[in-house]
Amino acid sequence: MERPDHTYDVVVVGSGAAGLTTALGAIDEGLSVLVVESTVKWGGSSAMSGGGLWLPDNPLMRREQVGDSREEALEYLERCVGDVGRCTSTARKEAFVDGVSDYVTTAEKYGITFARGRDYPDYYPELAGGKIGRAVEVRPFNARRLGRLAATQRILMPLPAMTDDVWQLQRAWSTADGFVRGARFVFRTLGGLLSGQKKIGIGGALTGALGHAVFVANGATLWLESPARRLLTEGRRVVGVEVEHEGATVAVHARRGVMIATGGFDHNAPWRLKYHGIEGNPAGNPGNLGQGHELAEEVGADLELMDDAWWGASIQPVAGAQATFLVGERSLPYSIIVDSEGRRFANEAESYVDLGHHMLEHDAGGDYWFVVERRFARRYLRAFALDPRTNKAMKAQGITVEADSLAGLAERLGFEQDTFRATVDRFNGFARSGRDQDFGRGDSAYDRYYGDPTVRPNPCLGPLEKGPFVAYKVVVGDLGTKGGVLTDTESRALREDGSVIAGLYAAGNASASVMGRTYPGPGSTIGPASVFGLRAARDMARQER
């Protein structure tokens, strides 16, 4: 290549969890690091997420003497994920599980403190090897420690929330544990303010803590508004990146390797139509346009799982806004999701990826409605209906439809009256008996995690009887796309023939997911992204300069 303008050991393209963990691993190996980010904010979709990491057989579990093992984790992954391509090979599953301890202990070495989601189950806990409590998250982080970097951190919730807060606060005024959790959350927030701290939680805590370790404490370089335009090669080896930075095109040499951690292509509408058949309703970083996929493909990288995404049901966004992804709301009583004819079609409380797949299979472009009754509206916090201005716009645009009676709601939604009435009557019968005989809602510990324990006999089932009734228009949404660069156990990019592209790595949603077409547990995006980011850094350290 031509004489470079800059030289680093490692160049990371993208600043989410995968990229930041790669940078942290490189620092731990004594390597110099440049992180380039195409947008004005760093943190990627990870900063906008719940911040959880699904990490089976992790050190926190061992310290608390919670039973788990490598063998159980791998058995669960084989049963849950199976084999849907080279990205889900047994070797890659083993590499993920075997890399968990290194990730946790390395992060802790640099001052990152974790908490375990003790009550959070795997998404298929009844399968062999399934467990409760494998998820971890970073404890609320004081953003003031970032200094000037705090102003450019991408963030969704500027409050010290943790994962359990989210589902318990959802029922803060309907259950005792929800009220207690709400009080603790308020005191935690006030305590941080009174002590002069600016504590943030969930995804902001994860990326904030990583950003502090990488940029503030250890001096890695960050370039914002600096998109990578092409990979630089010598023969068949990637040796650097051409980057637009501060109005100029500069060549950056990478002595050990280049990490592609640019996220998915969820905001690239033409690609969504090409690979998914729909434009999509993404909830992730607007900068996810598939740039990394293009860079890697141009030098011969193979792509897998491009037809899939981290699907889920979302409230249709008002014009100009992003969709609101539904997580726990779907499990709460006094609610159902129906199709354009007023019929149920799936277990509303199942894993969001499964529900998304069922929506696509049932009617990819059809209308769906999340129907709730008075008790739902009074008892539970609806994150998608907190802003009065948004609520007004939702009503004006027909996203929210209300009626005093089920008959009136059916008329306003265009349902055939007898069909909708039969759907509700059948569901109400299941709610009274405690068993959803059509789809098994509430049978799984995962379903019940988000339910209301004060509602019996099934915490996920409550009849729709008391008006007024409200319907929210639901679309197929996603947390990001799943398809990307095919990689091996060390995150090295592979060609179609399986050969390694020397010097090129990929992790996170820029790579084809080791989780295949499913979602084993909470944090199944960020967990593997982080583990494989660190494995990449370890491998780069083994490379010759």
Q: Give yes or no for residue 107 having a pLDDT over 80.
A: yes
Helix axes 90-109, 526-542, angle to 10 degrees: 80
For 230, list phi and psi in degrees, rounded to 5: -160, 160
pLDDT tens per residue, range 496-527: 999 999 999 999 999 999 999 999 999 999 99
In this structure, of 75-79, 159-163, 420-424, 521-525, the range with the lowest mean pLDDT score is 159-163
pLDDT tens per residue, range 31-74: 999 999 999 999 999 999 999 999 999 999 999 999 899 999 99
Q: Give yes or no for residue 460 having a pLDDT over 70.
A: yes
- The residues, ordered by sequence, that sit 6+ positions from 407 with a Cβ below 8 Å of its Cβ are 417, 421
Where b means 16+ CB within 10 Å and e means fewer, 54-79 reads bbbbbbbbeeeebebeeebbbebbbe
Q: What is the DSSP string of 284-306?
A: S-TT-SSHHHHHHHHTT--EE-T
273, two tokens: 């139509």
pLDDT tens per residue, range 363-419: 988 899 999 999 998 988 888 888 899 999 999 999 999 999 999 999 999 999 999
Per the DSSP assignment, residues forming a β-bridge with 13 are 36, 260
What count of other Cβ atoms lies within 10 Å of the Cβ of residue 157? 18
For 371, list phi and psi in degrees, rounded to 5: -105, 125
> CA–CA separation, 511 vs 480, rounded Å?
12
pLDDT at 313: 97
pLDDT at 354: 98
Output the CA torsion 185→188→192→193 (10° steps). 60
pLDDT at 188: 60
Q: What percent of the chain has pLDDT over 90?
A: 86
Mean pLDDT within 201-206: 95
pLDDT at 197: 80
CA 458 vs. chain centroid, Å, equals: 28
The residue among 196 and 322 whose pLDDT is bigger is: 322
Residue 349 contacts residue 330 (beta carbons within 8 Å):
yes
pLDDT band at 179 (very low <50, low <70, confident <90, very high): low
Coil, helix or strand at residue 213: helix
Question: Comparing C-alpha atoms, which of 37, 38, 34 is closest to residue 8?
Answer: 34
Mean pLDDT of the chain: 93
